[in-house]
Amino acid sequence: MTASEIATSKDKFCALLRATNRRGVETVLAKLEELGFFTAPASTRFHGAEPGGLLQHSLNVCQEARIIRLSQIQLRPDVEQLVPEESAILAALLHDVCKAEIYKQEIKHRKNAQGHWEDYLGYTVDYSAFPMGHGEKSVIRLLQWGLEMTEAEMLAIRWHMGAFNLPFQSVEANNCLTKAKELNPLASVLSAADGLASYVLETR
């Protein structure tokens, strides 16, 4: 993303988050700025592996979550109350704040089209700042920063990766994921939105 594109996307992100009218939003935005969230990549070499990738991914997930929510309302009208729009927006925009401080730029090496080695500026991962996992780290950071969140939003953010990393976790974690989805449909909405954004919208 260019600097201009990042600035435009940042304005959109901030406007959407402020529209939720949640206590603590301004502190969250200040912390995200401090940690480099708006210019960070979304991954080292997969989706959004470029400056502003994490910002764009968060907006993509938000867009997908709102679409999924509306489609489910058509099939089951009570979803409108079960998944408030502001909850879908907040959870989607903030599900990956855990990544804001983990990517560091470094010189890497690769073969170009002619088969010659060349240097390029890439990313590596450094978890040393706060090694607290993924979804759980996002929830903890947001609570530390004083963001007002519902239990449904916390559960959705915690489990937005779905069963992706469950093979490395316990039976208890598997049971918690299942119960989280049983308790609130937002968890399923966010997980589906994250998958669609990562593997459809952002796949080259």
User: What pLDDT does 130 receive?
Assistant: 83
With b for 16 or more beta-carbon neighbours within 10 A and e for fewer, the 119-138 pattern comes to eeebbeeeeeeeeebbbebb
Residue ranges covered by each domain of the chain = 3-201
pLDDT of residue 173: 73
Structure tokens at 66: 């709102």
pLDDT at 165: 58
**Gap between the Cα atoms of 118 and 92, Å rounded:** 37
Query: What contacts 202, CB < 8 A, 6 or more positions away?
Result: 42, 47, 48, 56, 57, 60
Q: Are 28 and 17 in contact (CB under 8 A)?
A: yes
Q: Say whether pLDDT at 168 is over 60.
A: no
Kindly indicate the confidence band of residue 159, based on its pLDDT and cuts at 50, 70 and 90: very high
In terms of phi and psi (left: phi > 0; alpha: psi -120 to 50; beta: otherwise), the region of 89 is alpha
Residues 160, 170: Cα–Cα separation, whole Å:
17
180 burial via Cβ count (<10 Å: 0-12, 13-18, 19+): buried
- Asked if residue 103 has pLDDT above 60, the reply is yes
Cα of first residue to Cα of last residue in the chain, in angstroms, is 15
Q: pTM to 2 decimals?
A: 0.88
Q: What is the pLDDT of residue 179?
A: 85
What's residue 110's pLDDT?
Answer: 77
Mean pLDDT confidence for 176-182: 84
Say if residue 134's pLDDT is above 80.
Answer: yes
Beta bridge partners of 113: none
pLDDT score for 204: 66
User: 162 vs 31, which has greater pLDDT?
Assistant: 31
